[in-house]
Amino acid sequence: MAVMLHILLALVLSPLLLGIIARVKALMAGRNGPPLIQPYLDLVKLLGKSSVYSNTTTWVFKAGPLGVLAGLVVALFLLPAGRVPALVSFPGDLFLFAYLLGLSRFCMVMAALDTGSAFEGMGASREAALAALAEPALMVGLLVFVQRSGSLSLTSMFGVAASAPAGQSTPMIVLVAAALFILLLVENARIPVDDPNTHLELTMIHEVMILDHSGPDLGFLLYAQALKLWVTAGLFANVLCLGDLAGTHGSAAGSDLAGLTGLGLHVAGILIVALAVGLVESCMARLRLNRLPQILASAGALSTLALLLLWR
Amino acid sequence: MIRALEMKPGTPVPQAEIPALDQEEFGEAMLALAAQDCRIAALFAAPHPLADPAGRLRIWAVMADDAAGTVWVLRSRAIKGQFHSLTSLLPQLHLFEREIAEEWGVLPEGHPWLKPVRFPPPVPGRASVFGPKNEAVGHMDFFRATGSQAHEVAVGPVHAGVIEPGHFRFQCHGEDVLHLEISLGYQHRGVERALPGFPGPRTLALMETLAGDTTMGHGLAYCRAMESLSGTTPCPEAEILRLVMLELERLANHTGDLGALAGDVGFLPTLSFCGRLRGDFLNLSALVCGSRFGRGMVRPGGVGFGLDRERTALLRERLQATLADVEGAIQVLWDSGTSMRRFHDTGVLSREDATALGLVGPAARASGLERDVRHDFPRGWYEHLRFPIPTRDEGDVFARATVRHLEIRQSVNLILNALSALDPDLASDPARLAPRTAASPPLLARDALTVSLEEGWRGEICHVCLTGPDGSIGRYKVVDPSFHNWFGLALALRKGQISDFPLCNKSFNLSYCGHDL
């Protein structure tokens, strides 16, 4: 039951994360800002419209939003929430998880390239360049947990139960969590990597790739963006073992109550991540584009350091 | 001995006193003046005689000598069909010569970069030097980088933000910009063609809306030209109020620019603060004259609105309070390491390039050029004030932002200084402030020329007025600072990152309609 609840919560609540970020930014700037449910209203509005297609686009462009969203929904199925296991899990599912994110990105980039626009080509090239640096950092970070738990499945990788004495692994967890937070900002095109609110098309990465999408297609992409934020923030919460805080004391793994409390903490963790993203965006400027490899390299370094600590 | 007339801006001179030079002499005189560190303030053609638009043309030039505080005026003998281009020797002329070629259908022989400027409709009776194909704005041969690694990005004229239309063509190698070509003209309204004739109330309205954010700058330049030609001198109180309004315009725009610069790097605190504070400065303009942009404030012979004791005190108090807030908002920006990393070394324009292009305003001062009309050619109440010109040497976005910050402080000081000399009793007497109403335009000197220079917030505004034998305006030339500076932006982008373009663009913040006229 808790498994299905987790999937349901993710599907329903993920647009709320975008609303929280917008609200935090507005409050920090002294404005009231849009209502928290604004992303839902946007989605309803977009789904009620019809899409407009340029003559230069092909089926690739139309398939793009579906592919992006599908990749993320399936990735969500592979993601555990604290003690609550993933809907689907098998040894090696972490690779599928990583490559579903990659597939989603691939669809996005292909749809952007399909428009033949110079802007979208630039955005696609930037996205691909960042991805090439972000993926190794993510894999190394996950490798830390593989090594620690001896499991190749996301569901059994995380959590205190999977580890040796808890105190010893704290530095590693902190390092990987820091790396993952950077990756979360990169993956979700937030400041300091990208500016989701800018109108300056020459500086954009993610936003410029969706310039030509409209109507339900744009709605799909907006929803996919929210879901991606949920999935990456969920991974972050798992790394911090937030869902475990409730159930560490002797309760059986299958206990529904402990599972539900854990899920609640997990979701709260995700909402706090949205809050943190909003705070980061309120007090930081964007980095220069050619500096982005450095921040990704630092994420990679943090992950690697965690791995070295483990092997020590 | 340079065959040109040296004069003070604001003094009318009979056109007959300006020596008429043939092509070679004209070129020699221009180069000799340029060798003495004079820079171009205006270069334009006017028919001879002025009343005959299809007649032969004379080329007129105004060179500014910043050190001496004078301008040199030159004119050529009547030319037919073509004239010698000086652009390859004096690059700052390049756009002026293109403008003459486009407006009057005469060919600048040897111009290395002859392209349209504004794509105006053809003048009846004059052929276009570009042939018949230039019908739509923006249709021209752009410079192209070729090769499998080069790619082209075209931006505009319709932009994602609410800004004016302009077309930008980038030749890129990956994220690096090899070359940027800027094509404007979408806002061309034919202002200069509408001006000849007797000046009336509409002329002033046209000047105030020439570039909406420079209402005071252009309005004042026009009024000074009219005053100069009609021999009127405004009272000191009116001059103080003009200074106050011109500086308030500068304050509002510089504050808005600093906020927008922060916004372009995604730094929200300063963006939000400065957006509000810009409004506070605009409201101070409204406090004086009822218009946030200063419309209707300045008029030939004086000002339209006075300032009583109560509002003077209020103005002073709110000005100081707003400055304190602005200082705080800008300090947040300076303290933000991530923002500063974006500002430093972005869009560098060297002092040599800035000099060669004849840049003006904060952009020139950020490249180390000490140019400020208020300092070099003081008029009105500026003659009574002494102040240094804030400059920086880096020539990057940071320098252009810093110069604006320093000018904000300076402007507030200038206003407070000027207000302390204001007698509130005299400053609230409408009859004294505006002896002549806009409905009864002044009588202008006949066959005369005057040059009017003002330091608008973007830089030097130059108006040149030639009157005909009946005392009407025969030719009125407007040079907005943007006309000098647009090419500076193009050069600043070279070897830069294409993603830094919006930031560079905002650091210059040039006017499209001021350029397009």
Residue B388 inside a domain? The answer is yes
Q: Does pLDDT of A262 surpass 90?
A: no
Residues B264 and B409 in one domain: yes
- The whole-number pLDDT of residue A226 equals 96
Cβ <8 Å between B341 and A288: yes
What is the band of A260 on the pLDDT scale with cuts at 50, 70, 90? Answer: confident
pLDDT for A130 equals 92
Do residue B175 and residue A198 have CB atoms under 8 angstroms apart? Answer: no
Report the distance separating Cα B266 and Cα B258, nearest Å.
Answer: 13
B360: tokens are 């003006």
* Per-residue model confidence (pLDDT) at position A249: 46
Total residues found in chain A within this entry: 312
Q: Quick check: A147 pLDDT over 90?
A: no
CB-CB under 8 Å, A200 with B269: no
Q: How confident is the model at residue A114 (pLDDT cuts 50, 70, 90)?
A: very high
Decide if pLDDT at A246 tops 90. no
| DSSP letter, residue A195 | -
Please give the pLDDT value at position B196: 87
Same domain, B283 and B419: yes
Q: Is residue B340 part of a domain?
A: yes
Q: Is B77 helix (H, G, I), strand (E, B) or coil?
A: coil
Q: For residue A207, give the chain B residue with the closest CA.
A: B160
- Asked whether residue B35 is assigned to any structural domain, the reply reads yes
Q: Chain A: nearest CA to B502, how far in angstroms? A: 7
For residues A213 and A64, give the distance between their C-alpha atoms in angstroms, rounded to a whole number: 10
The answer to the question of residue B61 being in a domain is yes
Contact B346 A288 (CB under 8 A): yes
Answer yes or no: are the C-beta atoms of A270 and A16 closer than 8 Å. Answer: no
Chain A residues with beta carbon closer than 8 angstroms to that of B401: none
Nearest CA in chain A to B268: A282
For testing contact with chain B, the best of A200, A210, A284, A291 (most B CBs within 10 A)? A200
* A192 near B CB under 8 A: yes
Considering chain B, what is the average pLDDT of its residues?
90
Q: Please enumerate in sequence order all residues whose Cβ is within 8 A of that of B479, keeping only pairs 6 or more positions apart, or say none.
A: B41, B42, B460, B461, B462, B463, B464
d(CA B241, CA B433): 9
How many structural domains comprise chain B?
A: 2
- What SS3 state is found at B197? strand
Q: Does A250 touch chain B (CB under 8 A)?
A: no
Measured CA to CA, the distance from residue A276 to residue A281 in angstroms comes to 9
> Which residue does chain A place closest to B161, by CA atoms?
A199
At A245 the pLDDT is 60
- For residue B46, the domain's CATH number is 3.30.460.80
Quick one: three-class SS letters along B380-420?
A: HHHHHCCCCCCCCCCCCHHHHHHHHHHHHHHHHHHHHHHHH
The pLDDT value given to residue A16: 96
Q: Does A203 touch chain B (CB under 8 A)?
A: yes
**Residue A173 pLDDT greater than 80, yes or no:** yes
Give buried/exposed letters for A246-269 (b at 16+ CB in 10 A, else e).
bbeeeeeeeeeebbbbbbbbbbeb
- Beta carbons of B266 and A201 less than 8 Å apart: no
d(CA B169, CA B99): 20
pLDDT reported for residue A185: 93
- Is the pLDDT assigned to residue A165 strictly greater than 80? no
Phi and psi torsions of A183, nearest 5°: -65, -35
A118 → closest Cβ in B151, B268, B502: B151
* Closest Cβ–Cβ partner in B151, B154, B272 for A30: B272
Domain boundary among B391, B407, B435: B435
Q: Do B270 and B407 lie in a common domain?
A: yes
Sequence-ordered list of residues with C-beta below 8 angstroms from that of B190, at least 6 positions apart, any chain: B120, B517
Give every residue of chain B whose pLDDT is below 50, as ranges: 438-439
Burial of B125 (0-12, 13-18, 19+ CB in 10 A): exposed
Mean pLDDT within A269-286: 92
Q: How confident is the model at residue A310 (pLDDT cuts 50, 70, 90)?
A: confident
pLDDT tier, A252 (very low <50, low <70, confident <90, very high otherwise): very low
List helix spans (H) across B195-308. Answer: 201-208, 215-230, 236-264, 268-289
Confidence of residue A250 (pLDDT cuts 50, 70, 90): very low
Rg of chain B's alpha carbons, rounded to an integer?
22
Q: How many helices (DSSP H) and strands (DSSP E) are in chain A?
A: 11, 0
CATH number of the domain enclosing B373: 1.10.645.10
- Residue A53 pLDDT greater than 90, yes or no: yes
- The DSSP secondary structure of B440-477, one letter per residue, reads SPPPPPTTEEEEEEEEETTEEEEEEEEE-TTSSEEEEE
Read off the pLDDT of residues A23-35 as tens digits, 9 standing for 90 and up: 999 999 888 999 9
Answer whether residue B57 is part of any domain: yes
Q: Assess if residue B91 is contained within a domain.
A: yes
Measure the CA–CA gap between B276 and A213, rounded to whole angstroms. Answer: 34
- The pLDDT assigned to A251 comes to 45
Task: Write down the ipTM of this complex.
Answer: 0.86
Cis amide prior to B362 (ω within 30 degrees): no
pLDDT of residue A20: 96
**Is the pLDDT reported for residue A254 higher than 70?**
no
**Average pLDDT of A11-20?**
96
Within a domain: B277: yes
Instruction: Say what the pLDDT of residue B133 is.
Output: 58
Smallest CA–CA distance from A190 into chain B, residue: B266
pTM comes to 0.90
Q: In this complex, do A200 and B262 lie within 8 Å of one another by their Cβ atoms?
A: no
- Whole-number Å distance between alpha carbons of B126 and B124: 6
Assess if residue B218 is contained within a domain: no
Q: Which residues from A are below 8 Å from B497, CB to CB?
A: 288-290
As a whole number of angstroms, the distance between CA B330 and CA A173 comes to 39
CA distances for B402 relative to B266, B271, B362, B405, angstroms: 19, 16, 9, 5
Minimum Cα–Cα distance from A195: chain B residue? B266
- B250 Cβ contact list (under 8 Å, min separation 6): B407, B408, B411, B456, B457
Last residue in a domain, options B401, B435, B469: B435
Q: Which of A29, A118, A125 sits opposite B272 (nearest CB)?
A: A29
Backbone dihedral angles phi then psi of residue A247, each to the nearest 5 degrees = -105, 20
CA dihedral B455, B460, B461, B465 (to 10 degrees): 110
Give the pLDDT of residue A244. 64
CA–CA separation, A82 vs A3, rounded Å?
A: 11
Q: Of B392, B416, B435, at which residue does a domain stop? A: B435
pLDDT at A255: 64
Residue A188 pLDDT exceeds 50: yes
**Least confident stretch, A131-145, A146-160, A206-220:** A146-160
* Chain A residues whose beta carbon lies within 8 Å of the beta carbon of residue B499: 202-203, 288-289
pLDDT at A135: 92
Name which of B297, B272, B270, B273 is nearest B284 in CA terms.
B297
Chains A & B: contacts with CB separation below 8 Å: 87
Inform me whether the pLDDT recorded for A112 exceeds 50: yes
The amino acid that residue B411 corresponds to is S
Backbone angles phi, psi at B396, to 5 degrees: -105, -175
Cβ(B407)–Cβ(B364) under 8 Å? no
Give the closest-approach CA distance of A291 to chain B in angstroms: 10
Question: What pLDDT, on a 0 to 100 scale, did the predictor assign at position B132?
Answer: 67
Share of chain A above pLDDT 70, in %: 92
Q: Which domain holds residue B32?
A: 5-109
- Reported confidence tier of residue A223, pLDDT bands at 50, 70, 90: very high
pLDDT score for A258: 74
